[in-house]
Structure 1
Amino acid sequence: MSSSVVSAKSELQLLAERLKRTREAKNLNQADWCRFVGIEPQAWSNYENAVRRISIDQAIKVCVATGASLDWIYRGHLSGLPVELVTALQAKIDKRSRYKAVNLREES
């Protein structure tokens, strides 16, 4: 497999993770999220699972509904996001980090 294919896949996975983190920051399951942003559930599942790359039109729906930016969705830049979204995103990261740390200690 060429490095450009690996890089493209990694970028798609990072994009998918940011989409999932954005949804989780709003404390919504996929069904409620899809109603909230106006995206079909199967399409959203494909985006979150890195099966397909979210289109600009669909990403704009996420931005309008949440205040997220295209820079966040496509590039991972937090600048320009609403404070409450950044706070929620950070809380999710912190919670996952604590969970991983506890699991690592239990395995030792």
Structure 2
Amino acid sequence: MADLKTYPDIAARLRRVREGFSDCNRKEWAKHHGFNPTQYTNWENGTRRIPIDAASALSAKYGLTLDWIYLGREDALSATARNAVSSSSQN
């Protein structure tokens, strides 16, 4: 059986965004952003990788970068985004 690829680092960053910018659960967050709740849960669990169009929508709304979502590079994050995702990772 082939190993399934997972995306735990991207998943952790998505959770940091959700928790840093809201107090919504996954389902509420997904619906608020027009994502299918099951698909969003798969992204945040790391079983599927968030598609570029969904990641772009989050980037535009919250001052994130695709480099941060996919690779964890923080250097181009807005100050607001950096504060939100940093504080949520402390919880």
Q: TM-score, normalised by structure 1?
A: 0.71
For structure 1, the 5+ residue unaligned runs are 96-108
What residue is the counterpart of 2:41 in the other structure?
45
Equivalent residues, number: 90
Report the CA distance between 1:63 and its aligned residue: 1.1
Q: Does the alignment pair 1:35 with 2:25? A: no
| Percent identity of equivalent pairs | 32
Alignment map for 1:51-70 (pairs within 5 Å) = 51-70=47-66
- Which structure features the higher share of helix residues? 1
Larger gyration radius, structure 1 or structure 2: 1
Amino acid at match of 1:36: H
Runs of 5+ in structure 2 lacking a partner?
none
Aligned letter for 1:26? F
TM-score, structure 2 as length reference: 0.82
Q: CA RMSD in A?
A: 2.1
Deviations 1:64-94 (A, max 9, x none): 2212110010000111211111112211223
Q: Match of 1:55, as an amino acid?
A: P
